Amino acid sequence: MTGEGTTSASAGAPAERRGRPRSPAVDTAVVETVLRLLEDGVGVAELSMERIAREAGVGKATVYRRWAGKEALMLDVLRSLDEAVPGPAGACVRDDLVALLEFLRRRGLAKRSSAVLRTVVAQVQARPALWAEYHDTVVAARREAFEAVLRRGMASGEIRADLDTELLTDLFVSPMLSRALFHEWRELPEGLSERIVDTLLEGVRPA
Amino acid sequence: MTGEGTTSASAGAPAERRGRPRSPAVDTAVVETVLRLLEDGVGVAELSMERIAREAGVGKATVYRRWAGKEALMLDVLRSLDEAVPGPAGACVRDDLVALLEFLRRRGLAKRSSAVLRTVVAQVQARPALWAEYHDTVVAARREAFEAVLRRGMASGEIRADLDTELLTDLFVSPMLSRALFHEWRELPEGLSERIVDTLLEGVRPA
DNA sequence: CACTTCCGGAACGGTCCCGTCTCGTATGGG
DNA sequence: CCCATACGAGACGGGACCGTTCCGGAAGTG
């Protein structure tokens, strides 16, 4: 969280820390301020270190004492988003899939979440490290949860076993994702998760 | 293309244009430069009018003579992306859907296209006008093409008629879109379109 | 040919930001 | 208690960009 963790390869003991300790409140205040600004649609470009410090009510030097620059700060901001995805608890695979999509829907409804996602997407080209961090801390866990449910369904016969779980995950997730990205909380109505899952399960061709 | 078209509500006659006419080459040079820079991963933030003019080999005043600011310029850049989507030419609905997705795949493979898309997504919150323009000039036509094919399929019995064409379009399009957004030309392999269409048509549940 | 407008280049004052540094003060470990 | 370190505030020089303005020259129109 302090950012030093990203660079401090100091394997040695941290030794004795003399003097006033760093306030943990500052770390959270800064990260929280960044999230709030992104949420308000500020855009990572207009986010200057100066403005972040100002709006967080924090000295600029205090920010630079913790993070080497905007890139390092953003990395920690993304790290702070790590979140537990719901485990499989439904009666059948279909319900588990709906639950996972419903989790995504509620996240997409939160301005914070979709704003951060948009920000990350915008940086895919320019700052691969940022995207990699987001993928590792947020995306990977979700994908793994989906694929686990799908594999379970394949074993139990509820899901065709001749399909690639990676492609299947995309088919389930990306409709929700696209709407959250493009339409921002609109177009994520109640019941959307069920419609996506059921349509995918049944297929589009008539029986 | 000149940008004045966006603001010039001057319904009156353009009257006689005396003096040296504006060079159309400048318009295209500027727009092309913006596209090239986006393509190189520069990001709309680092795109300053100053830099655009410099890299286009054009006087800054010349740019400001045509566009009121960066927003107006970007609007024209998006407008320049209008493109014809392939019409329905396949033997069956399935082939038409594959053709449309294949069109999207080739666009996603082009760095220019995915870069612009990422840029637009990043601005959904901050500049709704930009997104609206992109939606009207690019997205709307594609969606309409998809929905037309789907309606045709419903009429001919190749597609279930009890489903919403809007949701169906999302189901077909968004997997391709998400991959182009997140993975940038990787992960768009040959044959992906067929796999998406066929999986959606058949359904995920075993027969 | 005369005149008008456009062209690239360059400079302007103004604003914002960066990253560092210095204040005077607050705070907690040894 | 002492002193190292953190804190908020802000000044600093350096740099980038904005949008405007001027220049000298180029290029069409009448």
pLDDT score, position A90: 85
Residue type, A172: F
Q: What share of chain B is helix, strand, coil (3-state, %, to 5)?
A: 65, 0, 35
Q: Inter-chain contact A178–B182, Cβ cutoff 8 Å?
A: no
As given in the structure block, the two tokens for residue B49 are 């009018």
For the stretch B53-87, pLDDT in tens is 999 999 999 999 999 999 999 999 999 998 899 88
Residues of chain A contacting B118 with CB distance shorter than 8 Å:
121-122, 124-125
More confident of the two residues B8 and A62: A62
Query: Which of 64-123 (B) contact A at CB < 8 A?
Result: 115, 118-119, 121-123
pLDDT band at B11 (very low <50, low <70, confident <90, very high): very low
Nearest to A30 by CA among A5, A4, A66, A6: A66
pLDDT score, position B14: 52
Does residue B51 carry a pLDDT above 80? yes
What value does the mean pLDDT take over residues B21-43?
95
Interface mutation vs chain B, best among A46, A95, A204, most B CBs within 10 Å: A204
**Tens digit of pLDDT per residue, chain A (207 long)?**
444 444 333 333 455 778 999 999 999 999 999 999 999 989 888 999 999 999 999 999 999 999 999 999 999 999 999 889 998 888 899 999 999 999 999 998 889 999 999 999 999 888 899 999 999 999 999 999 999 999 999 999 999 999 999 999 999 999 999 999 998 888 999 999 999 999 999 999 998
pLDDT score, position B15: 56
pLDDT band at B2 (very low <50, low <70, confident <90, very high): very low
Does residue B9 carry a pLDDT above 70? no
- The answer to whether the beta carbons of residues A35 and A29 sit under 8 Å apart is no
Interface mutation vs chain B, best among A130, A135, A146, A174, most B CBs within 10 Å: A174
Largest CA distance in chain B: 74
- The answer to whether the beta carbons of residues A193 and B194 sit under 8 Å apart is no
Q: What are φ and ψ of residue A86, in 5° steps? A: -65, 135
Which residues, 6+ apart, have CB-to-CB distance to A54 below 8 Å?
none
| Gyration radius from chain A CA atoms | 21
Q: How far is the CA of B87 from the C1' of C20 (A)?
A: 61
Q: Is the CB of B65 under 7 A from strand C?
A: yes
Within 13 A of B61's CA, how many CA atoms are on the CB side? 0
- The answer to whether the beta carbons of residues B166 and B147 sit under 8 Å apart is yes
pLDDT score, position B186: 83
Find and list the nucleotides of strand D having atoms within 7 Å of a protein beta carbon: 3-11, 16-23, 26-30
Which residues, 6+ apart, have CB-to-CB distance to B15 below 8 Å?
none
Domains of chain A with bracketed CATH: 14-79 (1.10.357.10), 93-202 (1.10.357.10)
Q: Which long-range contacts (CB under 8 A, 24 or more apart) does A181-188 make?
A: A181/A114, A181/A117, A181/A118, A181/A121, A181/B121, A181/B124, A181/B181, A182/B121, A182/B124, A182/B131, A184/A111, A184/A114, A184/B124, A184/B125, A185/A108, A185/A109, A185/A111, A185/A114, A188/A105, A188/A108, A188/A109
pLDDT score, position B26: 98
As given in the structure block, the two tokens for residue A169 are 């995950």
Q: What integer best gives the mean pLDDT of chain B?
A: 90
Which residues, 6+ apart, have CB-to-CB distance to A28 below 8 Å?
none
